[in-house]
Amino acid sequence: MRTKILSALYFLAALIFIFAQLRPFSLTDVISKALIILLLIVLFLVNAGRMETGAKRMIFLALLFSWLGDIALEMDNNKDLMFMVGLAFFLLAHIFYFMVFILTPGKGQPLKRLIMIILPVIIYGIFLVAFLYNDLGDMRLPVIIYAIVILSMLAGAISRIGKVNSASYYLVLAGAALFVLSDSMLAINKFSIAVPAASVLIMSTYVIGQFLIVLGFLRQSYVAPSGLIY
């Protein structure tokens, strides 16, 4: 019951924030934005009792830095500086997600097969950076570094294949992909061309992506070499 209530409040806070974007900036934007990931952190901690301490800590830190990034991006004073601060916080969030993904215990796919599976992610990253490259100006290096990190995070989610149960694997993979899509739209909208309904699309993919990652880890169980789930 608590999980359902927290999940409902999480998406309600997200909806309030999205609709708040349709009018001039107000304190409601900051409060509703701050509540979103805060509610997801509570939901995660309430349900993560049996999770390994290391994984629990890394997911908590990923969510914490996401929360700080959200708040930084909503600060109305010195937008350029706060964007860089927010970028740094989200960079740390992606690093912790990447770490918890690749440190998933178990025997995954052979390296050659894993590289082939990850190849579309690499191709996507190349096209994204190439598309943005001429519009980035002084932000070129930070954005390229950020792109490498977020795509590594997605590759890390892919690397869990064969190590965990299918429900956990696909939930986390879908969440990571949506997180990358959200960041991609944010970068395109900020540096290159206006994305139609940008605030709605960016926030929707971000909120659903974060929720799916957490849900996937809460449903995680491992696959033994024999193929048994434990």
**pLDDT for 169-187, tens place per residue?**
999 999 999 999 999 999 9
Token output for 170 = 């696909």
What is the average pLDDT score of the chain? 89
pLDDT tens per residue across span 93-148: 999 999 999 998 887 777 778 888 899 999 999 999 999 999 998 899 999 999 99
Token output for 114 = 């894993």
Mean pLDDT of the 28-39 span: 86
Phi, then psi, of 222 in degrees rounded to 5:
-95, 155
Record the pTM: 0.92
- The proportion of the chain whose per-residue pLDDT surpasses 90, expressed as a percent, equals 67
